[in-house]
Amino acid sequence: MTVSEDQLSLVPGKKKRVKAEVPIANVDPVAQIAIDSSLPHLDRLFDYAVPEKLDTQAVPGVRVRVRFAGKLTDGWLISRSEQSDHPGTLAAITNVISPEVVLLPQILELSQGVAHRQAGILSDVLRNAIPNRHAGAEATVFSGAPEIASATTGAWQDYVGGSALIKRTIAGEQPRAIVTTGTDDPAELLAQYAMAVACSDKGIVVVVPDRAAIDRITACLTALGCPSASVASLAADDGPATRYRNWLSVLRGTSRIVIGTRSAVFAPVTNLATICVWDDWNDSLADPQSPYWHARDVAVLRSSQQNTALVLIGATMSVEACALMPWVAHVAKSREQLRNESPKVRSALDEIGERTNPAASGARIPSIVLQTMKSALLTGPVLVLVSRVGYTPRIICDTCRTSPSCSVCSGPLMQTARSSAPACNLCGHLETTWHCKKCQGTKVRAAAVGSERTAEELGRAFPGIPVRSSTSDHILRTVDSRPAIVVATAGAAPIATGGYAAAILLDGNAMLSRPELSATQETFAKWSECVSLVRATGDVVVVADSEHPAVQALIRHDPAGFAQRELDQRTQVSLPPAVRLAALTGEADDVQEAIAMLALAPEIMQRGPVPGKDSQVRMLLSCDRRLGLQLSAQLKAMTAARSAKHKGGSVNVRIDPQNL
């Protein structure tokens, strides 16, 4: 009697043979492959046979190409084993794309943790963690890591706990800290910290919001005498060849200091000692594509998994960082020293200002602002922060206050200059014969004022003073110390030599009243950034309600107190980061089906559904943070099950969404 393959596998002591169409490797002939696919039900490992000719190249961590569903597909070789549970014939790996081992075990573990936390797909995370291969860059021969002779840490001496943070990091004790810098330059602090870590033959990752921050830290490192070969810049705008070459220099141990945008948090640094995140409140650190991870959350997870130090640094403290206390410590200057080194901040709408000028509460630029600017322009430049770009980005009918719309596409209208006809913000159509459909009026007025009109008005108010503009479409990096008016939007304020003589923060109430969960925090952070650019003897005037908690915290220079207050308020209404929250968005029937498949525990709170755009609805699920991973696992299983059935529309799942 003959024994079949299936029966042979059940015989004790007998190992099932691996069947394949080509000669296979003698040792560990089965490879577990993660397919590069965004389909949730394919987010698992598939067994493939390792051809004998690829035995030495097909090692865990390399890129491979396999045939899947009749098509050649890229994938990652995760591991190899002696046998497979698959009862049939295994397909063989087509080829190894590159013998370079790029998916290190610690990066794989981190990516799996991110995918699990965000209820996402591993391959989506790996696309961010490892840049696309570039054959020319892969052929680069790197020299050994250059030595860094010495490092200075003088900028940290005045910080309570600053010296201890550096010493414990070098000693490998994994300290975790939130550093609020006040009026100091975070780039200088990070450069000194990075040099001290690199001097001890350890690695450091510094994650920043944008290219300007990379350039600032790099310039500080160069001024400190750091060898350029020890620093690797990882940013999406570097181009595929440069980015992959820099990434390989980190992988092969040449560069110990990594500075980059959000994806740099995955960098494969040798002997990693610490991870730093600059301005973790900034929304540019959140990936806009599924699974919507945030660099701060990945840094926290990596610090925990790999036992490294963690530093969240910036002019302010985010609510999410505050929620990590007491797991992290607060490092800052003493209150007395901070007040002595910071400019004086006041509200233009406080009791004194309103008593002096009763009409100030209704004016966009009260008289106290003009008086402060006049005095400050005698000694240096003045920064004016505005909330919008353009001339008049939003207009209304001068008679009935109705918002006008385009006659072609029904889009909102704006004005691009003082005497220009209303133009559509979407299609650009000029309404040369516009009239109000409600009252037949022909005149419009500004409902919102942008940077261009602000610059025009201030230019007329201060003749002879140069007015410069810095916005998202044209950013100035620096200005000199000569008297000038610099009109800037948030995040585009240039650095002035010697600091600004004054800063004017306009449109405060409009920025604070945006219908977003993070509106108050982002406004306070942008204000704090502007305050940090003003010299200690300067003045800051914020045009906003003086009784608002954000304004009061700015006046007191109290970022920690502001963050704690925000956290307390979110705790009372069960919003992140006090709880773990998942937002499900889709058609009403699809969302209802998804909720029915979850079998939610009684501890999970449901809110909604709430109507959204294009007939979609949104459902919110929130729970205690200790149940967060359990909720994410259920959501991931539900998404995979619905994807496998190929029925109904998709349901978008976001964990702790940034804008709610």
Would you state the structure tokens that stand for residue 352, as one six-digit string? 């004194």
What's residue 397's pLDDT? 83
CA contacts within 13 A on the Cβ side of 194: 31
Element (H, E) at 356: helix 351-356
Which pLDDT belongs to residue 1? Answer: 38
Phi, psi of 370 (to 5 degrees): -65, -40
Q: How far is CA 109 from CA 30, 74, 600, in A?
A: 21, 20, 28
What is residue 394's predicted lDDT score, i.e. its pLDDT?
Answer: 76
Query: How far apart, in whole angstroms, are the C-alpha atoms of residue 592 and residue 602?
Result: 17
* Distance (Å, whole) CA 231 – CA 93: 37
User: Within its chain, how far is the Cα of 173 from the centroid?
Assistant: 27
3-class DSSP assignment, residue 478: strand
pLDDT tens readout for residues 496-510: 999 999 999 999 998
What's the confidence (pLDDT) of residue 6? 45
pLDDT value at residue 148: 81
Residue 63 has pLDDT above 70, yes or no: yes
What pTM, to 2 d.p., does this model score? 0.90
Return the bridge partners of 487, or none: 384, 469
The structural domains of the chain, ordered by start, are 18-101 (3.40.1440), 138-336 (3.40.50.300), 343-571 (no CATH), 580-655 (3.30.70.2880)
Counting Cα atoms < 13 Å in the Cβ hemisphere of 365 gives 17
Residue 3: per-residue pLDDT: 39
**Is 458:422 a contact under the CB 8 Å cutoff?**
no
pLDDT of residue 17: 57
User: pLDDT, tens digit, for every residue of 499-540?
Assistant: 999 999 999 998 998 888 899 999 999 999 999 999 999 999
Choice between 205 and 353, residue whose per-residue pLDDT is larger: 205
Q: Which two tokens stand for residue 326?
A: 């007491």
CB 445 within 8 A of CB 398: yes
276 is written with which tokens?
A: 């730093």
- Residue 12 pLDDT > 90, yes or no? no
DSSP H or E stretch at residue 168? helix 162-170
Q: What is the mean pLDDT of residues 65-92?
A: 92
Pairing of strands 394-397, 309-314: unpaired
46-60, 439-453, 501-515: range with lowest mean pLDDT? 439-453
**Residue range 84-98: average pLDDT?**
90
Of the pLDDT bands very low, low, confident and very high (cuts 50, 70, 90), residue 15 is very low
Return the pLDDT at 11.
44
Across 134-143, 149-158, 286-295, 445-454, least confident range: 445-454
**Cβ contact 312:178 at 8 Å:** yes
What's the CA gap between 535 and 523, in Å, rounded? 21
Half-sphere exposure of 401 (CA within 13 A, CB side): 2
Which pLDDT tens digit goes with each residue over 580-598? 999 999 999 999 999 999 9
- At 155, list the tokens: 């900028």
Provide the pLDDT confidence category of residue 640 given band limits of 50, 70 and 90.
very high
Q: Is the pLDDT of residue 106 over 50?
A: yes
Q: Is the pLDDT confidence value at 565 over 50?
A: yes
pLDDT at 83 over 60: yes
- pLDDT for 419-440, tens place per residue? 778 888 788 888 788 778 788 8
> Is the four-CA dihedral 315, 297, 565, 354 of positive or negative sign?
positive
Mean pLDDT over 62-84 rounds to 94
Q: Using the predicted structure, report yes or no on whether residue 608 has a pLDDT greater than 90.
A: no
The confidence score (pLDDT) of residue 241 equals 93
Find, among 657, 386, 645, the residue nearest to 508 by Cα.
386
pLDDT per residue as tens digits for the range 126-169: 999 999 999 889 888 888 778 887 788 999 999 999 999 999 99
- Provide the CB-side half-sphere exposure for 599 (13 A, CA): 5
* pLDDT at position 8: 40
Q: What is the pLDDT of residues 461-495, one digit of tens each?
A: 999 999 999 998 888 999 999 999 999 999 899 99
Average pLDDT, the chain: 90
pLDDT tens digits along 223-252: 999 998 999 999 988 889 999 999 999 999
CA atoms of 264 and 260, how far apart (whole Å)? 5
Please, are residues 338 and 182 in contact by the beta-carbon 8 Å criterion? yes
Q: Is the peptide bond before 609 cis (omega within 30 degrees of 0)?
A: yes
pLDDT value of residue 398: 75
320-372 pLDDT tens trace: 999 999 999 999 999 889 989 999 999 998 755 555 555 555 578 888 999 99
